[in-house]
A and B are shown apart, each in its own frame.
Chain A
Amino acid sequence: MSGIVGYGASIPRNRIKVEEIAKVWGADAPSYKRGLMLEEKSVPSPDQDTITMSVEASRNALKRAGIDPAEIGAVYVGSESHPYAVKPSGTVLAEALGATPAVHTADLEFACKAGTEGMFIALNLVRSGAVKFGLAVGADTSQGAPGDALEYSAAAGAASFIFGREGLVAEALDTFSYTTDTPDFWRREYMHYPRHGGRFTGDPAYFRHVTGAARGIMDKAKMKPADFDYVIFHQPNGKFPLRVGEMLGFERRQIEPGWLVPKLGNTYSGSSPLGLTATLDIAKPGHMILLVSYGSGAGSDSFIFRVTERIEEVRDLAPKTRDLLDNNKVYLDYGVYVKFRRKIRKAE
């Protein structure tokens, strides 16, 4: 059996509230909060990027896995905000972890789904016996154009998972992916900010793919919503995961432990993976977890995990996701926020 042997999260301390952004643009904060079910979002500090957050999350995963990093045979970083257009994030991460040089590394990009893509590949390499341990990170310092609806949600965070065949904290029972060519959101080269197709990002994009992947894996595994203790959906805003859960027949109590978005924002490639870390933080041995990601363009990866006894031993070895989310916060005003996000620059 293959599965997760260690997991870890990284969330920047900085936050900005919806009201603070709305104030600058003369927008109606209550309607944004109600419409998106968002209160605040995380903001990376000037020295935080996809690589540094990947390192932090992966070090936390290593603490829980308790393995020799040199035995990691594959390192994948999924993000749409890799710091370099050409030059991998994965090599920096692998070097920082001590996994080099006998390691395969790749950077992945698939809008908000690149994290679970890496998880899918790492898990299956482990499962095939090609590598002993495989590490996958979903991380983003996502971009939202000033004044765009995305500015209220585009956040930063990372989640890292180490897959192996022994010492499991969660067995991976099944995977299923659902992919079509659906252009709901994109950013071309040299564009600073992505564009999105408004409401087109809803029914034909998010809802079709998330329900497709969720139903596909449940059919494959002959399971139904009631068989799961927890479910994590991609969280572009507060509303979508709750609505898709309702469409599929899940109850709010199954969704809530991994529903981080109202206080975190959309961490893109880190979104549903961070929800999984928060869920593992509270799950008990034997609990069944369904994870369904979504990436624009478009596709969803789904996974079924069964939590093992070892979860009790490892969960306190690294910071818990809810603690990172709820404690030690620094609230930014819009001016500092735009400086941190490099939307304004100091004179040379």
Chain B
Amino acid sequence: MRDVAVIGVGMTKWGELWDKSLRNLFVESALLAIEDAGVEKIDSMVVGCMSSGLFTGQEHLASLLSDYLGRNPIPAARVESACSSGGLAFRQGFLEVASGMSDVVLVGGVEKMTDVTGCEATFALGTAADQEYEGYHGLTFPGLYAMMAVAHMDRYGTTRDQLSMVAAKNHDNGSKNPLAQYPFKVSVEAVNKSVLVADPLRILDCSPITDGAAAVILCPLEAARKAKKPAVRIAGSGHATDTIALASRADLAWLESTRLAADKALAMAGRKVEDMDLFEVHDCFTIAEIMVTEALGLVERGRGGRAVEDGLTALGGKFPVNPSGGLKAKGHPVGATGVAQVVEVVKQLRGEAGERQVKGAERGLTQNMGGTGGSALVHIFEAG
């Protein structure tokens, strides 16, 4: 396998973007990535998108997007793995370059979620759960993560305040990210008092519904050394699956797929998790970030709540988690999230992250998951 690098990243402002369509969103970010990389020719394209069919009635997405990007007739594929569609698209792009099949691959992620009502969006997102064993019984994602939160609180004593601290931390970080959907601070008290969605989760525990896209350009590391921006090497890639249905898991308060994907990615990179300078993880709900920090091995099982309370995962802490603001503040256009995490890590390793820059960052990790952890992807990045 060849070494592969990210040589260009692109992302536009996320939010409730009523005047931008799915194709606009994708093309704008893709053009920024192409410009950032300074490449002319693209050999192939992979796009992560969870549910353009249910959100906008559009399938056959890869060809449509390569057309509007002006890149037909290059090969283009759309990848779906619920909320980890972006992460999986990135892995597919990585494998394509690593294998030698293509030299320059554009990986994009996109989701246009606000063309439908809140109920329709909740239904579309709910298709990432097990329809026969979860969906038909009325479960939605806030409900599923609420059960995980209850299990975690019951077993480990994780507190309401600790959940709120995750949201407050990520909004602190997001307030420094001009592309974030909600670039403002939120207090622990405000989270505690926000509207109850699914006990114990409140509205400010939940990531939002977002329109957005992100794109990156990959090429062999050798070629990347000649690119205009410093190359960022993809040192490790890990991917694992688990049961979609929460009820089939051995442990409601543990994310095994994230643990397995992280182990594989770190082994491939020849690194330990403590070697990482920053982490972009899948905080679709506050409890998710707490559980991910445990599954990645940043803290022991059950200590994720304590970690945020102690400031371990703050921007200035030992393990900065979600300097971008995470899904919570930056937004969560489901198919784009996994790619946007890569965009953030690359900016951090290049020293381009502005106010939220993790000083001297040389290595970073992304963790993206689908559903309640039925799929998980972890990637390791190193400067140079």
Binding site for B on A (CB under 8 A): 28, 31, 195, 197-200, 204
- Complex formed: what's the CA distance from A10 to B195 in Å? 36
Q: Which residue of B lies closest to A197 (CB)?
A: B117
Instruction: List residues of chain B with CB within 8 A of the CB of A195.
Output: 117
With an 8 A cutoff between CB atoms, is B196 at the interface? yes
Instruction: List residues of chain A with CB within 8 A of the CB of B195.
Output: 28, 31
Q: Does the CB pair A198–B18 fall under 8 Å?
A: no
Instruction: List residues of chain A with CB within 8 A of the CB of B196.
Output: 28
With an 8 A cutoff between CB atoms, is B118 at the interface? yes
- Complex formed: what's the CA distance from A198 to B117 in Å? 7
11 contacts between A and B (CB under 8 A): A28-B195, A28-B196, A31-B195, A195-B117, A197-B117, A198-B117, A198-B118, A199-B16, A200-B18, A200-B114, A204-B18
Size of interface on B: residues with Cβ below 8 Å to A: 7
State how many angstroms separate the Cβ of B122 from the closest Cβ of chain A: 12
Instruction: List residues of chain B with CB within 8 A of the CB of A204.
Output: 18
Instruction: List residues of chain B with CB within 8 A of the CB of A197.
Output: 117
State how many angstroms separate the Cβ of B191 from the closest Cβ of chain A: 14
Known: A28-B196, A198-B118. 9 other contacts (CB 8 A): A28-B195, A31-B195, A195-B117, A197-B117, A198-B117, A199-B16, A200-B18, A200-B114, A204-B18
- Complex formed: what's the CA distance from A199 to B18 in Å? 10
- Complex formed: what's the CA distance from A199 to B114 in Å? 10
Instruction: List residues of chain A with CB within 8 A of the CB of B18.
Output: 200, 204
Instruction: List residues of chain B with CB within 8 A of the CB of A198.
Output: 117-118
- Complex formed: what's the CA distance from A311 to B18 in Å? 46
Task: Name the interface residues of B7-53: CB closer than 8 Å to any CB of A.
Answer: 16, 18
What 4 A-B pairs have minimum CB-CB distances, sorted nearest first? A31-B195, A28-B195, A198-B118, A204-B18
State how many angstroms separate the Cβ of B233 from the closest Cβ of chain A: 42
Q: Which residue of A lies closest to B121 (CB)?
A: A198
- Complex formed: what's the CA distance from A199 to B195 in Å? 17
State how many angstroms separate the Cβ of B138 from the closest Cβ of chain A: 14
- Complex formed: what's the CA distance from A197 to B114 in Å? 10
Instruction: List residues of chain B with CB within 8 A of the CB of A200.
Output: 18, 114
- Complex formed: what's the CA distance from A204 to B195 in Å? 25
State how many angstroms separate the Cβ of B125 from the closest Cβ of chain A: 16
- Complex formed: what's the CA distance from A195 to B118 in Å? 12
- Complex formed: what's the CA distance from A17 to B118 in Å? 26
- Complex formed: what's the CA distance from A31 to B117 in Å? 21
Contact with A along B103-123 (1 / 0, CB 8 A): 000000000001001100000
State how many angstroms separate the Cβ of B379 from the closest Cβ of chain A: 34
State how many angstroms separate the Cβ of B119 from the closest Cβ of chain A: 10
State how many angstroms separate the Cβ of A191 from the closest Cβ of chain B: 15
State how many angstroms separate the Cβ of B186 from the closest Cβ of chain A: 16
Instruction: List residues of chain A with CB within 8 A of the CB of B118.
Output: 198
State how many angstroms separate the Cβ of B146 from the closest Cβ of chain A: 15
- Complex formed: what's the CA distance from A200 to B16 in Å? 9
Q: Which residue of A lies closest to B16 (CB)?
A: A199
Q: Which residue of A lies closest to B194 (CB)?
A: A31
- Complex formed: what's the CA distance from A200 to B18 in Å? 8
State how many angstroms separate the Cβ of B113 from the closest Cβ of chain A: 12
Instruction: List residues of chain A with CB within 8 A of the CB of B16.
Output: 199
- Complex formed: what's the CA distance from A204 to B118 in Å? 18
Contact with A along B153-189 (1 / 0, CB 8 A): 0000000000000000000000000000000000000
Q: Which residue of A lies closest to B118 (CB)?
A: A198
